[in-house]
Amino acid sequence: MKEYDILVIGAGAGTKLVTPPSQIGKRVAVFEKETPGGTCLNRGCIPSKMVIYPSELLRLGEESKRFGIQWDEKPKFQVGSIFQRVNETVKFDADSIPIAYEKNPNIHYYPKKVWFQAPKIITDGVDEYTAKHIFVVTGTRPKLPKIPGLLETPYWTSREALSPKFFPKSLLIIGAGFISLELGAAYSAYGCEVTGLTRGEVLSHADIDIKKELMAHLPFPIQTGLDIHSVTYQNNKFQVRAKNHEGKDLHYEAEQLLIATGITPNTEDLHLENTNIKTNSDGYILVDETLQTNEPGVYAFGDVIGRYFFRHSANFEGEYLFEHLFGENKKGPIQYPPMPEAIFTYPQIASVGKTEGELINENIAYYKGINPYRASATGMARLSEYGFVKVLVSKETEEVLGAHIIGEEAANLLHQIVMGMFLKAKLSDYLDMIYIHPAISEITRNAFRKVREQKLNEGK
């Protein structure tokens, strides 16, 4: 039996409980069955944004004709070189993680798959390991839909789409969420003919006005309301057969198929039955208000607990656990601040807090302010044809309950409101501050002015 102070299963967000504890003298063992760095570094946030950014430059070039700028010829680029740079950069960063651990005498890195042998004992099939504190940070993986024929084809998930062996001329994407919208937009900008297919609606969780604006400016066509019957692959082509709500048979064909229908937790191989750890019906690990599982001393965080599916939320949870368990000022139950999210599609989308639909369902009184990009000085300068900032303000407290942005720089523009929500700023605070003129943040100011107008009209 090998004994440590801390065992960490998963070298993605789990790294938050590796180096910091080692620096205060804790002996840490970290286990990773795949490439260190987790989904975010290897097949998620970082490589996807490295693929997306050059595609945004291409789209901006295409839209420059609005300003009377004409290109004599199409831009020249090698899409293979773009993906090669992404893969080389990601590999370098991932390879550097074990090297850094090897230099730290308090960290032992094990590139192994492990599982629970008993409540506080994990094994790799040969050796056994135990510790006072165990952290399960195994994340998620793409979820595959039960479509006849799919498993017999060379389909892609996000993993293959971010490191393709070839760049297809045409691509079908099953799914209409974050991954579909981001990768579909990038592939489309690089010249691939992309078509989305989905049973439900596009971006089902989003605010209603965001969905309406997105549907009017999709970066590639998406067919909704489909019941997909089968997938086949013949003569280097994918064939997807489906029916729409009217019962009409439909057929789609492309060189490649990308499955982007959600995620599932990596818990089935942990042999949790050998412990008191419980999961919900979808396999996500249940934790209490301190992120502890039903097994004392065993904690879980990140995607595997199914609360939020962002690296920034996983980082927050990891940092909380370090302070809660090892910090000088022990923290109580975890308290999440406003949790922002962004979709780096085209147009970009960013949100925080409640949607308008949620406020209606929860019977919460609110003011609504929507200001389009074009109704601002910078929007006029950019000849903005779409996009808006939407703010939802409590009638009771006049604090922001939610904010939703679609358009250029949405993810950056949202942070002013995120900070305001964190500091419990009121409507007057957003109105009384000075905004740089003419900056894109004036769109946010104008949205709050719309709230003020609504409030004044209601009082008449």
d(CA 98, CA 11): 10
Q: What is the largest CA-CA distance in the chain?
A: 76
DSSP 305: G
182 labelled ligand-binding: yes
303 labelled ligand-binding: yes
Cβ–Cβ under 8 Å, residues 182 and 158: no
Residue type, 449: R
**Tokens 């400016």 sit at which residue?**
217
Q: Output the six-digit token pair for 288.
A: 């209490």
254 labelled ligand-binding: no
Q: Output the six-digit token pair for 198.
A: 């989905």
Annotation marks residue 205 as catalytic: no
Cβ–Cβ under 8 Å, residues 41 and 95: no
Could you please report the per-residue DSSP string of 212-257? HHHHHT-SS-EE-S-EEEEEEEETTEEEEEEE-TT--EEEEEESEE
Q: Is 382 left (phi over 0), alpha (psi -120 to 50) or beta?
A: alpha
152 labelled ligand-binding: no
200 labelled ligand-binding: no
Q: Output the six-digit token pair for 40.
A: 């975010």
49 labelled ligand-binding: yes
Could you please report the per-residue DSSP string of 18-73? THHHHTTT--EEEE-SS-TTHHHHHHSHHHHHHHHHHHHHHHHHHHGGGGT---SS
**Tokens 């949405």 sit at which residue?**
410
Catalytically annotated residue among 217, 251, 324, 437: 437
143 labelled ligand-binding: no
Respond yes or no on whether the N-terminal peptide bond of residue 119 is cis (omega within 30° of 0): no
181 labelled ligand-binding: yes
> What torsion do the CA atoms of 408, 409, 413, 418 make, to the nearest 10 degrees?
120
Q: Which residues are annotated as a binding site for NAD(+)?
A: 175-182, 262
Q: Which residues are annotated as a binding site for FAD?
A: 49, 303
Q: Which residues are annotated as a binding site?
A: 49, 175-182, 262, 303
Active site residue ranges: 437
